[in-house]
Structure 1
Amino acid sequence: MDLNLLIDNLTNPALLFFFLGVVAVQLKSDLSIPETSSKFISLYLLLSIGFKGGQELAHSTFTTEILWSVLFGIFLAVIVPVYTYFILRQKFNVENAGAIAATYGSVSAVTFVTTISFLEMKGIPFNGHMVAIMALMEAPSIIVGLLLIKIFKKNQKESNIPMKTVINHALTNGSVLLILGSLLIGFLANDAQAEGIKPFTTDIFKGFLAVFLLDMGITSGRKLSDFLKKGWFATLFAIIIPIINGVAVAFISGVFTESVGNRLLFAILAASASYIAVPAAMKLAVPKANPSLYIPMALAITFPFNITLGMPLYLYVINLT
């Protein structure tokens, strides 16, 4: 791995703000980001990246590469929860295994946004249709995770929420709806209209990302200590599975696209884990699944790994092929 690339990534100001948040928790500081502000910033990041992706898509010609890339993204969202479920069943019950599998089959929008910032910093181009693929990968893994729980659950007589309700919740999840809606708006807006809001969608993006990662650092720091007490299996899973998924997709994605930026985004989507959409769906559909297990795995272990060591590792693998 290129050590200069790794050092550049670790000294990225946005990433350093993440570490500042973790340190603040360890020092028992009262530093915090108001919940309303944190929610606004997360909505802003999704809106901005969706709009810019729509603009990129508007200037692109629909090709077979885009079609195969979309199908590949959906395939990943289906296959990852299936194979990870059976690994997780070695240590966890059906509900927790299904919830964690869905978490790792789905994607982290914030990890995706951070990777885009990394690509822009390195001057590596990528295509706007990757934003649409990210949004399309949210729901399938949730549905697959719930199906696995239904299939392998011994007591089928227990009352639960209908699958139709859960699927509707997954498809209308706020983050999915916002990024797809922003993508469509960006696609429809002409260049002059997009230029008019560029100061909002582009110029302040990195500043908001830094503040959001500070908040993520604070949240991760709070969850990390309690989670590490739960045992080694979950911790190793939260590191090893992202490496396997990310490295494998870094190789395989070359079949669908030659773009280094697209391949890195595919790798990070495969390696990331959801801590927003999936927990919301599992809370509704599988209340017996333990959120203090799958949320810290995604947020306190996998997320920091991907934005520090994961991105340079996957890019290194891509450059080898």
Structure 2
Amino acid sequence: MDLSLAVQNLVSPPVLFFALGVFAALVRSELAIPQAVAKGMSLYLMLAIGFKGGVAAIGHGLGLDLLLVIIAATALSFAIPLVAFFFLKTTTKLDQINMAAIAAHYGSISIVTFIAATAALELSGIEYPGIMIAAAAAMEAPAIATALFLAHRGRKKQEEQGAPADNSMLWREVALNASVVLLVGAFLIGMATGEKGYKEISPFITAPFKGVLCLFLLDMGLVAGRELRQVRKTLTPALLGFGIYMPPIGAVIGGLTGALIGLDTGGIMLLSVLAASASYIAVPAAMRIALPEAKPSLYLTLSLAITFPFNLTIGIPAYISLAEALS
């Protein structure tokens, strides 16, 4: 890993604002961002990255490469939870339901990590294909299906406990999740309007982007710090280790897949980031419906308070170096 790049990322404003949020939460500061504001910032970031991705995709040209990216991303989202589940089963004493719920988070994606990765690439002067936003959209749901399969295998005498749960609400939540709808919708609008549409709203989605990202990551730091403060006694060393070593494993799998389908350095890096990140928005919402007996204090803390900071500070520079080596 390029140490200068790692230092550059560590002292970048978004990472420092995240660290400020964690510190404020750990020392029990009254600093807080209203939930409505945080949601608005999240919607803005997804709209901006989706729209710019659509514009870049139509400029790049649609063809076999887009299809390969979507297929590869979907396959990764199905497969990575199996890898995560294997390590959890080997190294921890968790029950099947909690292991399946945690594994689902690592097969899905963190759109904020993806956005931070695109910013890091731009800072490094590395171009990336706009079609990678399609990979992000494709990786939201398949991991949940894998987790349900793993959890179902772990349930004993399910018929004696009552009828199986109706998962129709789950699939509606996944398909119509706000992040999926906005990402895909903004991506399609960007494709439809192209460069002309981009010029019309560029002052809105370009200039404020990094400032909004800093404020949003400040809020994420506050949330992560509160989670760490509340559940530090329930996280075993094995679980903490999983939250740190699983992202690089996913990144290597994603990077090799990206190289195999012929992506350039930027594309390989973003696919690595998607495979290394862990969901803390869509999947937790789905797990509340599908696996209500699973413990949010475990899966949310691992994804948000352990893996997210690791990827943001150490992972992203390492994944850039990995992509440069693979390309």
Aligning the two structures, in what range does the TM-score lie when normalised by the shorter sequence? over 0.9
1:89-114 Cα offsets, whole Å, 9 max, x none, are 34211211111010111100111011
1:20 pairs with 2:20: yes
Q: TM-score, normalised by structure 1?
A: 0.96
Does structure 1 retain, via aligned residues, the 8 Å contact 2:266–2:323?
A: no
1:233-278 Cα offsets, whole Å, 9 max, x none, are 1111111111111133324421213411111101110100000000
1:206-256 Cα offsets, whole Å, 9 max, x none, are 000000000011111111133332211111111111111113332442121
How far apart are the structure 2 equivalents of 1:214 and 1:189? Answer: 33
Report the identity percentage. Answer: 41
Q: Which moved more, 1:82-91 or 1:17-26?
A: 82-91
1:285 pairs with 2:311: no
How far apart are the structure 2 equivalents of 1:226 and 1:232? Answer: 16
1:298 pairs with 2:300: no
Structure 1 residues 89-238: aligned runs within 5 Å: 89-90=89-90, 91-157=93-159, 158=161, 159-230=163-234, 231-238=236-243
Q: TM-score, normalised by structure 2?
A: 0.94
How far apart are the structure 1 equivalents of 2:225 and 2:165? Answer: 33
Residue type matched to 1:173 in 2?
N
Residue type matched to 2:240 in 1?
T
How far apart are the structure 2 equivalents of 1:273 and 1:190? Answer: 31
Residue of structure 1 equivalent to 2:11: 11
Does structure 2 retain, via aligned residues, the 8 Å contact 1:69–1:257?
A: no
Secondary structure at the aligned position of 1:89 is classed as: helix
Residue type matched to 1:241 in 2?
M
| Gapped regions of structure 2 (runs ≥ 5) | none
How far apart are the structure 2 equivalents of 1:198 and 1:179? Answer: 17
1:307 pairs with 2:312: yes
How far apart are the structure 2 equivalents of 1:118 and 1:315? Answer: 9
Residue type matched to 2:158 in 1?
Q
Residue of structure 1 equivalent to 2:75: 75
How far apart are the structure 2 equivalents of 1:112 and 1:68? Answer: 19
State the shift of 1:24 in Å.
Answer: 1.2
How far apart are the structure 2 equivalents of 1:134 and 1:193? Answer: 22
Residue of structure 2 equivalent to 1:47: 47
Does structure 1 retain, via aligned residues, the 8 Å contact 2:169–2:289?
A: no
Does structure 2 retain, via aligned residues, the 8 Å contact 1:143–1:167?
A: no
Q: Which moved more, 1:103-112 or 1:167-176?
A: 167-176
How far apart are the structure 1 equivalents of 2:58 and 2:263? Answer: 20
State the shift of 1:171 in Å.
Answer: 1.1
Secondary structure at the aligned position of 1:77 is classed as: helix
Residue type matched to 2:37 in 1?
S
How many residue pairs were aligned? 321
How far apart are the structure 1 equivalents of 2:283 and 2:264? Answer: 29
| Gapped regions of structure 1 (runs ≥ 5) | none
State the shift of 1:160 in Å.
Answer: 4.3
